A and B are shown apart, each in its own frame.
Chain A
């Protein structure tokens, strides 16, 4: 059974540019969540998508957005990149039933560097 796949793994962007990251969840999982990890702020929840709808959202500016496709694959987009957006972006996959206990699995993450 394939795990959570995130692409690209590493990327470097310039301030002001935009970036799109992709996450393919485990087959059969309908929920995808995104997290940002930085040395200063730790791991912070960005948003969650379930059945192509945003179901939960963290406290991030509107430059951070996402979407989910009918096959449950999700993308997140960051526009007008700032140096502080440099981080590891992690995607988590789960079946989507909110009482499903421990069935949340993470991908390897996408390392974004903004210069």
Chain B
């Protein structure tokens, strides 16, 4: 069975600092995709970044980058130059290719301090 583990329930970070949100995953399937989503208090799940299991390079999207370490089954999200608007819940998630079901971690609540 697939599993996503996020070990940081909450984090406090000073504005403009970089922040790393941890994520490890477990699957025996070689074909999968990894996602990070941001969920503000409004509830909407906002897509941030995606990494396919066969992608050779780490994914980047603006201030977001995904530190993908396949051998360690790790997919950490790095947010550079954090902003007050980054305060939200962040979810790491996985999907097997060939399946539309997404498995989510428990999330990390990020607080950006002014």
Contacts and interface: CB of A to CB of B under 8 A. Distances in A.
Given A42-B104, A42-B106, A43-B104, A102 B99 contact: no
Contact-residue bracket for chain B: 20 to 34
Contact of A42 (B35, B42, B50, B107): B107
Interface of A: 31, 33, 35, 42-43, 45, 48, 50, 55-56, 58, 88, 90, 92, 94, 96, 98-99, 101-102, 104-109, 111
Q: Chain A at the B interface: mostly helix, strand, loop or mixed?
A: strand
Contact of A102 (B44, B47, B107): B47
Contacts of B42: 108
Contacts of B18: none
Contact of B43 (A48, A88, A99): A88
